[in-house]
Amino acid sequence: MTDHGMDELQSFFDAAKAQAAEPSADLLARVQADALALQPVRSAVVTERAPGILRQLFAAVGGWPAVTGLTAATVLGVWLGAVQPAGLSDSLSTALYGDGTLTVDPQSSFDFVLLEG
């Protein structure tokens, strides 16, 4: 490069040094808006506890549908065990044994042998 080219570059460098290198207010506002948009949002720290034994049992059984079915069966069983309606025991014995009565002498083991066939 010649001296003339070097002087020309030097004049450009001097002009750049003389000018203040401050960004415009508009540029600073845009940079700040971009920076705020990229910052992560702080969220509340959520600590999750391990489920208790009843909640685990509830989930293992099958949730609300299974628990309501088990509750209904339990209430019915307690009611039938405590009250035992007479009509229920009569109809149950008729259904199991027929119209006749099954009589077996518990003292004789020979009757049990006959029943087995």
Give 21's contacts (C-beta < 8 A, 6+ positions apart).
none
Tokens at residue 92, please? 């149950």
Q: What per-residue confidence (pLDDT) applies to 107?
A: 56
In the chain, where the domains are located:
53-116
Q: What per-residue confidence (pLDDT) applies to 113?
A: 60
Tokens at residue 44, please? 């509340």
Q: What per-residue confidence (pLDDT) applies to 108?
A: 56
Per-residue pLDDT reduced to its tens digit, 29-55: 999 999 999 888 777 777 788 888 988
Q: What per-residue confidence (pLDDT) applies to 39?
A: 86
- In whole angstroms, how far apart are CA 97 and each of 34, 87, 89, 94, 103? 87, 15, 12, 5, 10
User: Which residues does the chain have with pLDDT short of 70?
Assistant: 1-5, 86-93, 97-117
Give 31's contacts (C-beta < 8 A, 6+ positions apart).
23
